[in-house]
Amino acid sequence: MKPTTTTNRTATSQTAMFGAGCFWCTEAVFQRTPGVTKTTPGYAGGHVKNPTYRDVCTGDTGHAEVTRVEFDPALVTYEQLLKVFWEVHDPTSLNQQGADVGTQYRSAIFYFTPEQKGAAEAAKAALDKSGTYKRPIVTEIVQAGEFYPAEDYHQNYYNDNKNAPYCRMVIQPKLKKLGVGD
């Protein structure tokens, strides 16, 4: 499956936004999700305007690393995107995904509509009730606010750096686990 690198917005395009640890991982997975037309790593959920990566890494901005996902709902539903979100990370790990530690790596769903909020809350409740995880899900479900795209070198990171150690050790196993590795 080819990664999404261009914008193919249609009149029916919708937006979702997820924080699931490192945005390099999340972007790589959603780029390979059929129906996704564009992905943009960035920062959201904080109180500092126009943060940089260095700012966010201090833990003082309140921002999470997120991936904004534009999708065609005729090809992929929001519920299907939520399923990918749950599978790409550990939603029971507070402010940490693997070796990435800090509030910027928290698990979060930033909703844009009341329907997205309801779907996210229902999915979280069902997953918690299912017993899939031994610990409770700590994922935040909050209304989307200002989004700040990450610096250019973070955009399309995995596709441009597949042989980098982090990509080989962290991202490639996630892609393989989800059956979308290349």
CB atoms within 10 A of CB 147: 16
The single residue of 22, 25, 57, 167 carrying the catalytic annotation is 22
The structure tokens listed for 147 are: 């989004």
Q: Give the number of other CB atoms < 10 A from CB of residue 3.
A: 18
22 an active-site residue?
yes
Query: In the chain, which ranges are E strands?
Result: 14-20, 36-44, 64-71, 96-97, 100-101, 107-111, 140-143, 147-149
Backbone φ, ψ for residue 22 (5° rounding)? -60, 130
Helices (H), the chain: 23-31, 53-57, 78-88, 114-130, 157-160, 165-166, 172-177
Query: What does residue 111 show for φ and ψ, rounded to 5 degrees?
Result: -95, 150
The rounded distance, in Å, linking the Cα atoms of 42 and 17 is: 10
Residues designated catalytic: 22
